[in-house]
Amino acid sequence: MTTLRPSIARAVRQLGSDINRARRARRMPTSDFASRMGVGRSTLARLERGDPGVSIGNVAAALAALGELQRLSGLIDPSKDDAALLLSGRDLPQRIRTAKGASTADRSSIEESDAESGSVAF
């Protein structure tokens, strides 16, 4: 597995912690919660620790077991995506290519620093 950027690792750990807190607030034992998710207790433990190797399907199963699945579908709602709204007058490209001379890693680090500062680059 590749190494995650620190900001992403923190966000994944926070999500795991939030799921743990929500489960405990509902007084659900790990065995019951894991069963509702359709996974083993070890997978649940990894999820609650914020292990980035846990699948998005297991995150969705945890949200469903908490009665919060609707939060996933609204996560990146296009009607609330400022960058998408600014560009909504344009047709969405079918394919996005990296500019010559710029690697994907270069673009990713620029996009991350923009995201952390709150600015949007076009």
Q: The domain that contains 57 carries what CATH number?
A: 1.10.260.40
**Alpha-carbon span 33 to 47, nearest angstrom:** 12
Token representation of residue 30: 């790990």
Asked if the structure places residue 1 within a domain, the reply is no
pLDDT computed for residue 7 by the predictor:
96
Domain containing 49 equals: 6-73
Q: What is the pTM of this model?
A: 0.69
Give the pLDDT of residue 122: 35
Give me the number of domains the chain comprises.
Answer: 2
Q: How far apart are CA 106 and CA 122, in angstroms?
A: 15
All residue ranges of the chain with pLDDT < 70 are 1, 88-93, 102-122
pLDDT at residue 90, as a whole number: 65
Q: 69 and 11, same structural domain?
A: yes
Say if 98 falls within a structural domain: yes
Whether residue 68 sits in one domain with residue 37 = yes
Percent of the chain with pLDDT over 70: 77
**Is 62 found in the same domain as 41?**
yes
